[in-house]
Amino acid sequence: QVQFVESGGGLVQPGGSLRLSCAAGGVTLDDYAIGWFRQAPGKEREGVSCFSASDGSADYVDSVKGRFTISRDKAKTMMYLQMNNLKPEDTAVYYCAANLMRRRCAGYVLHEYSYWGQGTQVTVSS
């Protein structure tokens, strides 16, 4: 069973940065829109950013615009989420997943996404 593997999380002070990585486990990333999601304790999983395989464009939710950057490596085997100016409210487990229904981002409907990994914990605290 295919499962993405997220890494790069950790404890960081407010205003700090982290770069999350997502290994695609043999999946061809050019075939799907790839999303980054997060889930804070006691909250539902929410979309954060999405990368469209169709044209390389990126989408961000308002709360992370200007601070987070999603990218893909040239080999199209790894996805990244660069997170700058982190805030305590960014604390969550972060996941990446593939939208098997689309190559172009169109929202963050959870049931459209597959290959969920175990996630990586990001904690922003002083």
Per-residue pLDDT of the chain (126 residues; tens, 9 = 90+): 789 999 999 999 999 999 999 999 888 889 999 999 999 999 999 999 999 999 999 999 999 999 999 999 998 899 999 999 999 999 999 999 999 999 999 989 999 999 999 999 999 999
Query: Using the 8-state DSSP alphabet, how is residue 43 labeled?
Result: S
Alpha carbon distance 22, 14 (integer Å):
23
Alpha carbon distance 19, 105 (integer Å):
21
For residue 11, the cross-strand partners are: 123
pLDDT at position 2 is 84
Query: Using the 8-state DSSP alphabet, how is residue 55 labeled?
Result: T
Alpha carbon distance 114, 67 (integer Å):
26
Q: Name the amino acid, one letter, at 75.
A: A
Give how far Cα 113 sits from Cα of 57, 96, 117, Å.
18, 9, 11
Contacts of 41 by beta carbon, 8 Å cutoff, 6+ apart: none
